[in-house]
Amino acid sequence: MTKRLTEDKKITDFFACDVFTDAVMREYMASEDYDALREIIESGGELEMALADKVANALKDWAMSKGATHYTHWFQPLTGSTAEKHDSFISIDRSGNTILEFTGKSLSKGEADASSFPSGGIRATFEARGYTVWDVSSPAFIKKSIDGSGVLCIPTAFCAYTGELLDKKTPLLRSMAALDVEGRRLLKLLGIKAKKVVANVGGEQEYFLVDKSMYLQRDDLRFTGRTLFGAPAPKGQEKNDQYYANIKERVLCFMADLNEELWMLGITAKTQHNEVAPSQHELAPIYNSVNIAVDQNQLIMEMMKKVANHHNLTCLLHEKPFAGVNGSGKHNNWSLCTNDGINLLEPGSTPESNRVFLLFLLAVIGGVDEYQDLLRMSTASAGNDLRIGANEAPPAIISIYVGENLQSMFENLENGAQGIKRIKEYLKMGVPNSPRLKKDECDRNRTSPFAFTGNKFEFRMVGSSQSLATANIVLNTITAEMLHRISDEIEYAMSHDEDKDFDHIISTVVLKYIKQHRRIIFNGNNYTDEWKEEAKKRGLCNLTNSVDAFNAMLRPEVVELLERNNILSEKEVISRHEIYLDDYSKTLHIEAMTALSIAKTQILSAVMRYEGELARGFAKLSAADGLGAVQLKLMRQIDALLCELNERIDALECATAKTSEDMDVCTKAMLHRDLIVPALTTLRETVDKLQLICDKGIWPYPNYADLLFYE
Ligand code: ADP
Ligand code: MG
C-alpha cells in the first residue's frame, strides 16, 4: 500500500483526509448553509430538503475531488456488521445528457431490500421495502480501494417501511437522547447547566493474525472463523512471554499500514501491543462520542481484515479462534461527559461530598444491578460463549469493581462516618530522582466484568467480533432510567419534605442507592468458584450461555425499560430476540456442518490411509522376522481412536438431524446448545488425540504450531 508517512509528511498532514470533517464542510458550503447544518448536528432538528440538496452537492464535489465515483448509505443491520449498496453519481438529465448528481433526497433517504436482512418476522419477502436514513451526527467518509477508487459512505439508520427499526444505530441514537435528557435533568437539579450530556467510548480491539496461506488450508477457519479441531502446540502462553513483547516485523508492517488507513479515516489509532496469546494483538483508539466510537470500531474491524490481506495475513476477529490460549474481547471504556468536557464520573479530591459524581456513579451501579441480565445479554453470542467464564475473560456473572477507596467511602457513608480511607496516595518506586507519582483512585482488577477505572467504567465482556452498539445501548439506557428515578426522588422530596434541606435530600438518595445495590459490588477475584457461590447467595444472575442470556430480553421489566425510554417497542424487542437466537443456531449449524465435512472427508480418510501404511509395514516386518511391535502398538491405538471417531461423527450427525429449519427459534437454539455443542466438543477430543499420534505429514491441514508461531 502507498505509504503516507514520509520524511516530510506527518500524521497530521493526512489525518482524516478521507472524512467530511467540519473544516471540509465549511470549505465546500456557503457559510449560512454551513451554520444551519452545524446547528442541526449539534442540537437536532429537521433537515429541510433545500439544505439537504446543498449538503449533498458539497459532499459529491468533495468526494469526487478525492476520486470517489459512488456513494452508499452505510448501515448496521442486525447481523452485527455493516452493509452497503453502491450507487454511482451518474444520472441522466431531462435532455438525456449524462450528468453527475447527488440530491438531497438521495442523501437523506435510501432504499434497501429489508427482507434480505434479519428482521425477526417484521419483514416478509413480499413486503420488502426498507429505508436507510442519514445520521447527521456521524461524519461521512470515503472508503478507498487499493487502486484508488472510492465510495462515499454516509452513516445511516435502517428501518422497515412500516417504521420498525432493523438496525443497531437507531436504538443507540435513541439511548443517547434518553441519557442526554435525563443527565441534563439531574444536573439542573444540582444547579449545573449543561447543553448536552454524552457518553464517551474507547473500544480496545483484540485480534489474531495468522498467515493467509495457512488460513486458506483450514475449512474451519474459512467457514466459522475459529479452529474446530487442533491439539495444543508444544508451547502456548504459559510463560507469559507474549504480552507487551517485541512485535515481530511482519506484524509491525501490518500495524503501520493499518494505522495509516485508520488515520486517513479520522480514527485516532493510538495504542498497539501484543496480547497474552501467541499471535494475538490489540489496538485502541482515543475515545470518542459513543455513536462515532461504535461506527469507528466497525471500520477498525473492516480495515484490520483488509490490511491483513495486503500483508498475506488473515485477521481473525472470532472470540475464541484457538482452544487452550486466550480468546479475544473488546473492552468498552465508557464515561459520561457534558458538552463543556466535564467528566461526570470524575471523583475529584473529595468524592464523598461530590454530589454529581456520587449520583451519576450510583445511577450506573443501580442500572447495572437492576438490569444485570440485559447487560449480560448484550455480549451473548455462540462465539463469546466459548470465552466468557473460561478464566481468561470475566465470568458470566455481572459484578462491579470499584476499588478499595470507593468501597470504603460507601461503607463510611452508610455508617455515617466522615471521609474516605485513602490507601497510599503516592507510589514509592525507590528509584533515585524519579518523580513523585500520584496513585490512581483505584487499582485494576482484570477479572472484573465491569470495573471503575478512575473516571470511567470498563466493560470487558463484549466479544471481539461483536458490534459495540448493543452493549452501549444497554449502558446508556439503564443509566438514563436510573438518572430518571433519582431525579424523580429528589424532586418529590423537594416538594414534600418539610425542612427541604437539599444536602439531606441528596444524602438520603445516595444512602438508599448504596444500600439497594451494594450486592453488585465485588472487588475480589471473579475467576474463583467461591465467587460463584457468593454471587448466588447475593442473588446475582449467572447466565452461563447465550440462549439463557437472550431470553433476558423478554423479562417484562426489560421490555418496559426499553419501551419507556423509547429505545425499542415490544414488537422490536421480540423480533431482536428471535434474530439473535436464530443467529446462534445458524452459527452452530455451520460449525457442525464444517466439523462433519472435515472429520469425514479429511481426517477419517487421512488416518485410514496412515493406518493402512502402518499395516503394510507391519505385515512385511512381522513376516520377515516377527518384528513390528511398535507399528502394532500404534495401529491398535489408532484403530481404537478411529472407531471412536466414527462413533462421534455419527453422534454429531444424529444431533444435527434432531434440529430442523421449521422448528420454533427457541427450541432450535436450545437443541443446538444442548446437543450440538457437546457433540462438537467430544468429536474434537478424538480428532485432537489422533493428531498427536499420527505422522504430521499426513495431517490434512496446518496445526496450531504452524498457525500461532509463524514468522
Ligand atoms: P487498558 O488496556 O489499560 O485498559 P488502554 O490505554 O489500552 O487501557 O485503553 C484505554 C481506552 O480507554 C482507550 O481507548 C482510551 O481512549 C479510553 N478512555 C480513556 N479515558 C476515557 C474516558 N474518559 N471515557 C471513555 N474512554 C476513555
Ligand atoms: Mg482495557
CA–centroid distance, residue 461 to ligand 2 (Å): 11
Mean pLDDT of 333-360: 95
Same domain, 375 and 449: yes
In a domain, 573, yes or no: no
Pocket flag, ligand 1, residue 284 (CB < 6 Å): yes
Identify the domain boundary among 568, 600, 630. Answer: 568
Alpha carbons 416 and 153: distance in angstroms, whole number: 56
Q: What pLDDT does 430 receive?
A: 64
CB 326 within 8 A of CB 277: yes
Identify the domain boundary among 543, 568, 593. Answer: 568
Ligand nearest to the CA of 284: 1
In a domain, 681, yes or no: yes
Q: What is the largest CA-CA distance in the chain?
A: 107
Any idea which of 125-129, 182-186, 324-328, 700-704 has the lowest mean pLDDT?
Answer: 125-129
Pocket flag, ligand 1, residue 542 (CB < 6 Å): no
Which three cell numbers, joined as nine digits, stand for 69? 465515483
Q: What pLDDT does 1 receive?
A: 60
Q: What total of structural domains would you count in the chain?
A: 3
Q: What is the mean pLDDT of the chain?
A: 92
Which three cell numbers, joined as nine digits, stand for 609? 490411509
Pocket flag, ligand 1, residue 332 (CB < 6 Å): no
Mean pLDDT of 46-50: 88
pLDDT tens profile 489-503: 999 999 987 777 999
Ligand 1 atom with the smallest distance to the CA of 343 is: 23
Ligand nearest to the CA of 201: 1
Alpha carbons 501 and 601: distance in angstroms, whole number: 77
CA–centroid distance, residue 456 to ligand 1 (Å): 8
User: Residue 89: how many CA atoms within 13 Å on its side-chain side?
Assistant: 25
Alpha carbons 522 and 237: distance in angstroms, whole number: 28
Which three cell numbers, joined as nine digits, stand for 158? 435502517
Mean pLDDT of 88-98: 91
Q: How far is CA 579 from each of CA 468, 544, 664, rounded to the nearest angstrom?
A: 17, 20, 12
Q: What pLDDT does 524 receive?
A: 94
Ligand nearest to the CA of 290: 1
Nearest protein CA to atom 11 of ligand 1, as residue? 202
Ligand 1 atom with the smallest distance to the CA of 345 is: 23
* CB atoms inside a 10 Å sphere around CB 213: 13
Any idea which of 223-237, 354-368, 490-504, 684-698 has the lowest mean pLDDT?
Answer: 490-504
pLDDT tens profile 35-45: 999 998 887 77
- Residue 284, SS3 per DSSP: strand
Same domain, 544 and 677: no
User: Which amino acid, 283?
Assistant: L
Q: Tell me which of 156 and 207 has the higher pLDDT.
A: 207
474's CB contacts (< 8 A; 6+ apart) are: 175, 371, 374, 375, 377, 378
Pocket flag, ligand 1, residue 456 (CB < 6 Å): yes
Q: What pLDDT does 415 receive?
A: 85
Q: Residue 550: is its pLDDT beyond 60?
A: yes
Same domain, 447 and 389: yes
CA–centroid distance, residue 55 to ligand 1 (Å): 34
7's CB contacts (< 8 A; 6+ apart) are: none
Mean pLDDT of 575-583: 95
Nearest protein CA to atom 13 of ligand 1, as residue? 202
Pocket flag, ligand 1, residue 289 (CB < 6 Å): no
CA triplet 519, 360, 42: central angle to 5 degrees? 140
Nearest protein CA to atom 24 of ligand 1, as residue? 335
Ligand 1 atom with the smallest distance to the CA of 202 is: 14
CA–centroid distance, residue 202 to ligand 1 (Å): 5
Ligand 1: which of 333, 342, 364 to mutate, most ligand atoms within 8 Å of CB? 333
Please choose, from the candidates 409, 405, 410, 395, the residue with its C-alpha nearest in 3D space to the C-alpha of residue 448.
395
Identify the domain boundary among 145, 167, 189. Answer: 167
CA–centroid distance, residue 110 to ligand 1 (Å): 36
Please choose, from the candidates 184, 164, 167, the residue with its C-alpha nearest in 3D space to the C-alpha of residue 176.
184
Ligand 1: which of 204, 361, 460, 461 to mutate, most ligand atoms within 8 Å of CB? 204
Which three cell numbers, joined as nine digits, stand for 524? 475480589
Q: What pLDDT does 207 receive?
A: 98
User: Which amino acid, 77?
Assistant: P
Same domain, 562 and 420: yes
CA–centroid distance, residue 329 to ligand 2 (Å): 10
Q: What pLDDT does 6 receive?
A: 79
Same domain, 266 and 215: yes
R_g of the chain, CA atoms, integer Å: 28
Please choose, from the candidates 416, 384, 392, 226, the residue with its C-alpha nearest in 3D space to the C-alpha of residue 316.
226
CA–centroid distance, residue 688 to ligand 2 (Å): 33
Which three cell numbers, joined as nine digits, stand for 436? 513523585
Pocket flag, ligand 1, residue 244 (CB < 6 Å): no
Banded model confidence at residue 437, pLDDT cuts 50, 70, 90: low
Ligand 1 atom with the smallest distance to the CA of 337 is: 23
- Residue 83, SS3 per DSSP: strand
Q: Residue 639: is its pLDDT beyond 50?
A: yes
In a domain, 353, yes or no: yes
Same domain, 544 and 615: no
Pocket flag, ligand 1, residue 201 (CB < 6 Å): yes
pLDDT tens profile 445-469: 789 999 999 999 999 999 999 999 9
CA–centroid distance, residue 204 to ligand 2 (Å): 6
Same domain, 548 and 589: no
Q: How would you classify residue 342: left for phi > 0, otherwise alpha for psi between -120 and 50, otherwise beta? A: beta
In a domain, 410, yes or no: yes
Pocket flag, ligand 1, residue 200 (CB < 6 Å): yes
pLDDT tens profile 185-198: 999 999 999 999 99
Q: What is the CATH number of the domain that holds 111?
A: 3.10.20.70
Q: How far is CA 75 from each of CA 53, 84, 133, 586, rounded to the nearest angstrom?
A: 21, 7, 9, 22
Ligand nearest to the CA of 203: 1
Ligand 1: which of 197, 280, 287, 457 to mutate, most ligand atoms within 8 Å of CB? 287
Same domain, 138 and 181: no
Which three cell numbers, joined as nine digits, stand for 83? 452493509
Q: Kind of pairing, strands 68-74 and 150-160?
A: parallel
Task: Please give the share of the chain, as a percent, with pLDDT higher than 90.
Answer: 77
In a domain, 575, yes or no: no
Mean pLDDT of 550-555: 97
Ligand 1 atom with the smallest distance to the CA of 201 is: 25
- Residue 154, SS3 per DSSP: strand
Pocket flag, ligand 1, residue 455 (CB < 6 Å): yes
Alpha carbons 205 and 8: distance in angstroms, whole number: 31
Pocket flag, ligand 1, residue 297 (CB < 6 Å): no
Pocket flag, ligand 1, residue 271 (CB < 6 Å): yes
CA–centroid distance, residue 289 to ligand 1 (Å): 13
Which three cell numbers, joined as nine digits, stand for 90? 451518474
Same domain, 511 and 590: no
In a domain, 3, yes or no: no
CA–centroid distance, residue 464 to ligand 2 (Å): 13
Alpha carbons 384 and 41: distance in angstroms, whole number: 36
CA–centroid distance, residue 45 to ligand 2 (Å): 36
Residue 671 lies in domain: 583-708
Pocket flag, ligand 1, residue 448 (CB < 6 Å): no
Ligand nearest to the CA of 440: 1
Nearest protein CA to atom 14 of ligand 1, as residue? 202
In a domain, 478, yes or no: yes
Q: Residue 55: is its pLDDT beyond 60?
A: yes
Pocket flag, ligand 1, residue 460 (CB < 6 Å): no
Pocket flag, ligand 1, residue 280 (CB < 6 Å): no
Q: What is the CATH number of the domain that holds 604?
A: 1.20.120.1560
Q: Residue 424: is its pLDDT beyond 60?
A: no
CA–centroid distance, residue 458 to ligand 2 (Å): 7
Same domain, 182 and 142: no
Q: How would you classify residue 66: left for phi > 0, otherwise alpha for psi between -120 and 50, otherwise beta? A: alpha
Same domain, 138 and 180: no
* CB atoms inside a 10 Å sphere around CB 118: 21
Q: What pLDDT does 226 receive?
A: 98
In a domain, 367, yes or no: yes
- Residue 146, SS3 per DSSP: coil
Pocket flag, ligand 1, residue 20 (CB < 6 Å): no
Q: Residue 348: is its pLDDT beyond 70?
A: yes
Alpha carbons 604 and 690: distance in angstroms, whole number: 10
CB 479 within 8 A of CB 491: no
Please choose, from the candidates 571, 532, 574, the residue with its C-alpha nearest in 3D space to the C-alpha of residue 551.
574
Alpha carbons 157 and 134: distance in angstroms, whole number: 6
Q: Residue 77: is its pLDDT beyond 90?
A: no
Same domain, 373 and 279: yes
Banded model confidence at residue 387, pLDDT cuts 50, 70, 90: very high
Q: What is the CATH number of the domain that holds 199?
A: 3.30.590.10
pLDDT tens profile 101-152: 999 888 888 877 777 778 777 765 556 677 778 888 899 999 998 888 899 9
Alpha carbons 241 and 471: distance in angstroms, whole number: 32
Q: Residue 426: is its pLDDT beyond 60?
A: no
